[in-house]
Amino acid sequence: MASIKITPEPTIRRLPKYVHLLTILKHKGVKSVSSTMIAESLELDSTLVRKDIEATGIVGRPKTGFLVDKLIMALREHLNWNNEDDAFLIGAGSLGAAILGYKGFRECGLNIVAAFDNNPAKIGTVIKNVPVLDYTKLEEHCRRMHIHIGIITVPAPVAQQTADALIRGGVRAIWNFSPTQIATPQWVVVEYAQLTMSLAVLKRKLRETELTDNSIQETK
Amino acid sequence: MASIKITPEPTIRRLPKYVHLLTILKHKGVKSVSSTMIAESLELDSTLVRKDIEATGIVGRPKTGFLVDKLIMALREHLNWNNEDDAFLIGAGSLGAAILGYKGFRECGLNIVAAFDNNPAKIGTVIKNVPVLDYTKLEEHCRRMHIHIGIITVPAPVAQQTADALIRGGVRAIWNFSPTQIATPQWVVVEYAQLTMSLAVLKRKLRETELTDNSIQETK
DNA sequence: ATAATATCAGTAAAATTATATCGATAAATA
DNA sequence: TATTTATCGATATAATTTTACTGATATTAT
């Protein structure tokens, strides 16, 4: 019976923070770190940090904590950052270009090898060292290069058909930057990266603090 | 006694999806919609959708559902998208420029009125119709223009000092795109918008599905 | 006018996630 | 060497979030 311990999403979201903090500590020459210390730096509960670390399989030592080096490696391994995945990006607009230009994804095991667009003026050009290819050839290229990750940065109305093409090409995971829901078979992982979501949280919380600070009362 | 019903974060994150879907329906001429229908489109549980809508205060009618127009307005009101907030963006690099170039934030009640940078070559220029000003004048401008939202797109090592300047200038909410934790007084809302978080979820889930599909067993 | 049906609203239950507690253990100190 | 202390790991509790259930109600069809 297969038994992969699936990691809770809230945990996964915290892990990159740990990697970042630990990397800074490592550069400072720190050799070991306790969950207490991590928790204080990141304003979390220390038990929560220990639980999260548990997911990586690393065990610590009383009084000392965890070895920074080993912990970083285990976290990166758990997040699969040590295995580089090639990916295609579809939609070479301003958002697409920004993503192509961001160097940090390499560090997370993501290598964008080509972009696709249906604009003839863009096809054949190179953006941030990444070639822009013809959208109509997307499926074919996916299959030929065994691409497993597709990044969707096309306008909302064409997001679904883009996803369909990727899936026909054999893609297993889609990072969707369009605001639209896309329907996929269950074996395809879809992660929504929507800044509006994050902005919504920011603006709502700002309002909530404003309202509570001023002690305004809402009806009912 | 002040009593603002604070909305759970998972709910807030789903609300923009509803707005997007409903706006499409509205353009199609649909007048009313049921939670069941929303749930099916967005692959959620219908009770969850109803609970989320409850947060806006809108009530539906049996058999019919909710009026699309009213629901959109209520959602936008709840998210405070109808009140436009002016904001500053600090760090006019590639990520900053991409954010400045994205038109969709206007729709969410965010208006970026100026960018700041410490690079003399950039100061005085205009990026995507937004003027780039001198970073050393940040605090002063914040105070003078009564800016409440700051967007941090500076490199990690200077994120904290940028936040400090914003807070001294009276900012109440910070949208932090740097991967670093920033310390703030409790009255300041901080929202982390980190693509690496989202990517981490994508890559981890991809791995989990790969492992379970192949029925590989992990020790313990 | 009556019956059938889809849906809402409220309550209850389940699942997930976070926090608290406690004994065990390695390091530091007396 | 004995004692103190910080921290781990495990278990238990609490809080949050999601899902399930039930009765009421508006619309549609007969």
Domain spans of chain B, in order of start: 9-78, 85-196
pLDDT reading at A215 higher than 70: no
Tokens 């609970």 identify what position? B51
Tokens 């220029």 identify what position? B125
Query: Average pLDDT over chain B, rounded to whole?
Result: 93
Q: What is the pLDDT of residues B128-149, one digit of tens each?
A: 999 999 999 999 999 999 999 9
- C-alpha–C-alpha distance, residues B212 and B214, integer Å: 5
- Chain A and chain B share a number of CB contacts under 8 A equal to 211
Q: What is the pLDDT of residues B86-100, one digit of tens each?
A: 999 999 998 899 899
CA distance A64 to chain B (A): 24
pLDDT reading at A102 higher than 90: no
Report the pLDDT value the prediction gives residue B218, as an integer from 0 to 100: 35
User: Was domain B9-78 assigned CATH 1.10.10.10?
Assistant: yes
pLDDT reading at A11 higher than 80: yes
CB B199 to CB A110 under 8 A? yes
Which of chain A's residues have a Cβ under 8 Å away from the Cβ of B4? 208, 211-212, 216, 218
For residues B170-193, average pLDDT: 95
Q: What is the pLDDT of residues A44-84, one digit of tens each?
A: 999 999 999 999 999 999 999 999 999 999 999 999 999 99
Nearest CA in chain A to B82: A203
Report the pLDDT value the prediction gives residue B196, as an integer from 0 to 100: 93
Q: What is the pLDDT of residues B152-166, one digit of tens each?
A: 999 999 999 999 999
Label residue B1 by pLDDT band (50, 70, 90).
very low
pLDDT reading at A27 higher than 70: yes
User: Was domain B85-196 assigned CATH 3.40.50.720?
Assistant: yes
Cβ of B34 near strand C (distance < 7 A): yes
Task: For residue A66, give the nearest of A78, A77, A76, A54 by alpha carbon.
Answer: A54
Report the pLDDT value the prediction gives residue A210, as an integer from 0 to 100: 87
Report the pLDDT value the prediction gives residue A3, as an integer from 0 to 100: 56
Q: What is the pLDDT of residues B7-24, one digit of tens each?
A: 999 999 999 999 999 999
Nearest CA in chain B to A104: B196
- Output B219 or A205, whichever has higher pLDDT: A205
Provide the percentage of residues in chain A whose pLDDT is more than 70: 95
- C-alpha–C-alpha distance, residues A205 and A167, integer Å: 37
- C-alpha–C-alpha distance, residues B189 and B175, integer Å: 8
Q: What is the pLDDT of residues A187-198, one digit of tens each?
A: 999 999 989 999
Provide the percentage of residues in chain A whose pLDDT is more than 90: 88
For B52, the 3-state DSSP assignment is helix
Nearest CA in chain A to B197: A13
Cβ of A103 near strand C (distance < 7 A): no
Q: What is the pLDDT of residues A123-142, one digit of tens each?
A: 999 999 999 999 999 999 99
CB A218 to CB B5 under 8 A? yes
CA distance A180 to chain B (A): 7
Label residue A98 by pLDDT band (50, 70, 90).
confident
- C-alpha–C-alpha distance, residues B117 and B91, integer Å: 5
